[in-house]
Structure 1
């Protein structure tokens, strides 16, 4: 196996960041417990969000020397994930590794031709009343299946994945944290995978058609005790603004940056930077998933920075979601739909957050009602001013009246900062390369 295994003393190095203490402290009650200097050995603090509930989240912190890996390619990374059975592991990503280094053509099935695909399914030829079928659709599906096999990486239980230094990350890969317990992902720049072979659906989008894409940067699917910390998740080199248009619709090649779905539970998302993306984060991906999701999807989001996002930051179904001390930046000229999507049977608590809205954007759009579900929204500041998000929404959008009072109060929180200070704190410390 082409993976370099190293003893901890060889590959451990402290990441010095301005404003961070040399030693990380995990606070539990009134006692402070020193954490190791190696970010791969650090664990989630005992009160740090829903991920700390019950057994807590330690990832691969207990890995022995034989299960510590340093990887520099996508192939090495996937090999390290598979090696060692169920033993705790630490995978250190060095530099930027690329899951699609050979380009999209490497996945294409013989005979697939995008120009032929466009010609076959042009609405002027195919219409809008039936799904696409035939040779080119079959070849597109075969190409998509090959990409799926190549860019997804299944993350096992008891694993820590951590970037080394300031410039580590993953391009074009999809981390699948599926059906496992106890996973940590830290200090990576994750460039959202592009779908090389989106499918045209003539019947979608109220009968006018739409391009549908697959692949999220990180998926937490049916997993428990997950900590996503100090990462930068972004469209990177492939912003939606650069995507072409076919059949009058954007050739959408992105899905989500981070989705938490299908019975996932006890997740903490902290100190990340979410940048330049449309459908940013789903917590619960279907109104019909009550059998999997009811009573689960408990997620904490704190000290994250959302900039250049269009919607779903997050959109919530079913879950008890605690969102505090986050900073949301909506810039002049960008496309924007909403921040928080209030979905079926959700119980969102959004407190002590900061919102910076460019002129012309209304704070009434911060909340978006999809289904009847009460929420708590307290002590939030918009452009430096205390703002009752529910009241301003209801006053300006009376057709979508929201109800106040989520019915629960979060207790698993680290230090809650003043929302007035959040833009500065989060701006200087959130994202990859700034881990303490």
Structure 2
């Protein structure tokens, strides 16, 4: 290279360096090989990710202005943030554990309510099993229940994102109501199933009566475009095994973990962990709800982990429900009813899921027929082996023959994994505290 050429090259390099310094001083951002991850609180449901991405998709509060971003540390602050007027996008960041029943059940008791007297008044040996309970103690129980209902329910407005901060955010003792709204995201929370302080005794429920409870952890009711992602749902401190018995029946204080009902539509539930619960996930709550539910209840469940759950994973009425890439673990000795409940006019498409069943639990139990409705079940694995769930069910339970062919093919899917990889992958990545 000539001396003149070398001088020109040096001048060019110096000019480039000076320009870079000047840009830095004036605030221009240099290119980054590894740009920072976006704020998870402003994440939206990816395009094509299940029924929740249909149409306008689910964006929640991703576009919230700064004044509509709230960080809450208590149940009262949380409900206040939800109650601010208007439907402008909002983000609510949950820090730590919010407890809706921190004062205990006694805080909701109506004056004069006495559980011991309730038990004495409605003992089947006294009251019988033919007539629903009534009278002063039942009225006081109902008043106490109404006080709890008012205290523990939180109603989520449209265009909202609720997200836990870090790995230890959660809600206990509460019922989150996503009702009559559109465009909601809930992520990264450990949710303990609310405990009904005042279950009602119904002597006419079954041959020997039963205790009936209220309060699902999450309810999606007549709402559209909902994304429930990376949450852990559990009975937590109060598993059913810890509940007492009265009149020879379990004093049932739990209801569902996630119910999607009454005309709800376009919902994606992904990367959640459902743990240690009985009636887990219901889609459509009544055989008589065709007027509100027919043509709706379109729900996608993918990459969810179900461990030590008894039933309803999910139970479906009416909906077109895409169930793929979920893992179901039935533990030795646990009570187990079924996983997929085939109900009134349902159209389940269950594909490439995996199941771990202990000795003595047959694969025929995975499906449960409630009503005549065809379903598709393809590419599923049980204990590491490809299994035709419908054929096995029909062979093992011939009195409940199921028909194959749901009549539709899901198209709103992102990556579909080999079902043989799901047990390890979901143990590592599903649930709260694992949002990227």
TM-score (norm 1): 0.92
Matched residue SS, 1:286: coil
1:23 deviates by 7.5
**Residue of structure 2 in register with 1:336 after alignment:** 336
1:63 deviates by 0.3
**Residue of structure 2 in register with 1:31 after alignment:** none
Contact 1:346 1:373 (C-alpha < 8 Å) held by counterparts? yes
Which has a greater percent of helix? 2
Distance in 1 between residues matched to 2:277 and 2:347, nearest whole Å: 25
Matched residue SS, 1:348: strand
Matched residue SS, 1:313: coil
**Residue of structure 1 in register with 2:415 after alignment:** 415
Contact 1:189 1:233 (C-alpha < 8 Å) held by counterparts? yes
1:84 deviates by 4.2
The reply on whether 1:79 has 2:80 as its aligned counterpart is yes
The reply on whether 1:245 has 2:245 as its aligned counterpart is yes
**Residue of structure 2 in register with 1:99 after alignment:** 100
Distance in 1 between residues matched to 2:250 and 2:139, nearest whole Å: 22
**Residue of structure 2 in register with 1:227 after alignment:** 227
Deviations 1:14-47 (A, max 9, x none): xxxxxxxx879xxxxxxxxxxx621110000010
Distance in 1 between residues matched to 2:360 and 2:414, nearest whole Å: 35
Deviations 1:253-284 (A, max 9, x none): 00000000000000000000000000001100
The 1:113/1:23 distance shift into structure 2, 3 A limit, reads farther
- 4+ runs deviating over 3 angstroms: none
Structure 2, unaligned runs of 5 or more: 1-33
Considering only CA atoms, is the larger Rg found in Structure 1 or Structure 2? Answer: 2
Contact 1:154 1:178 (C-alpha < 8 Å) held by counterparts? yes
1:427 deviates by 1.2
Contact 1:347 1:406 (C-alpha < 8 Å) held by counterparts? yes
The 1:80/1:397 distance shift into structure 2, 3 A limit, reads same
Contact 1:67 1:84 (C-alpha < 8 Å) held by counterparts? no
Deviations 1:211-246 (A, max 9, x none): 000000000000000000000000000000111110
Distance in 2 between residues matched to 1:317 and 1:263, nearest whole Å: 11
Matched residue SS, 1:328: strand
Structure 1, unaligned runs of 5 or more: 1-21, 25-35
**Residue of structure 1 in register with 2:18 after alignment:** none
**Residue of structure 2 in register with 1:392 after alignment:** 392
Distance in 2 between residues matched to 1:269 and 1:241, nearest whole Å: 28
**Residue of structure 1 in register with 2:265 after alignment:** 265
1:425 deviates by 1.4
TM-score (norm 2): 0.92
**Residue of structure 2 in register with 1:372 after alignment:** 372
**Residue of structure 2 in register with 1:151 after alignment:** 152
Matched residue SS, 2:419: coil
Deviations 1:291-334 (A, max 9, x none): 00000000000000000100000000000000000000000010
Please show how residues 75-224 of structure 1 align to structure 2 within 5 Å.
Answer: 75-205=76-206, 207-224=207-224
**Residue of structure 2 in register with 1:402 after alignment:** 402
Distance in 2 between residues matched to 1:230 and 1:170, nearest whole Å: 14
**Residue of structure 2 in register with 1:7 after alignment:** none
Distance in 1 between residues matched to 2:100 and 2:242, nearest whole Å: 21
**Residue of structure 2 in register with 1:356 after alignment:** 356
CA RMSD between the two structures = 0.9
The reply on whether 1:314 has 2:314 as its aligned counterpart is yes
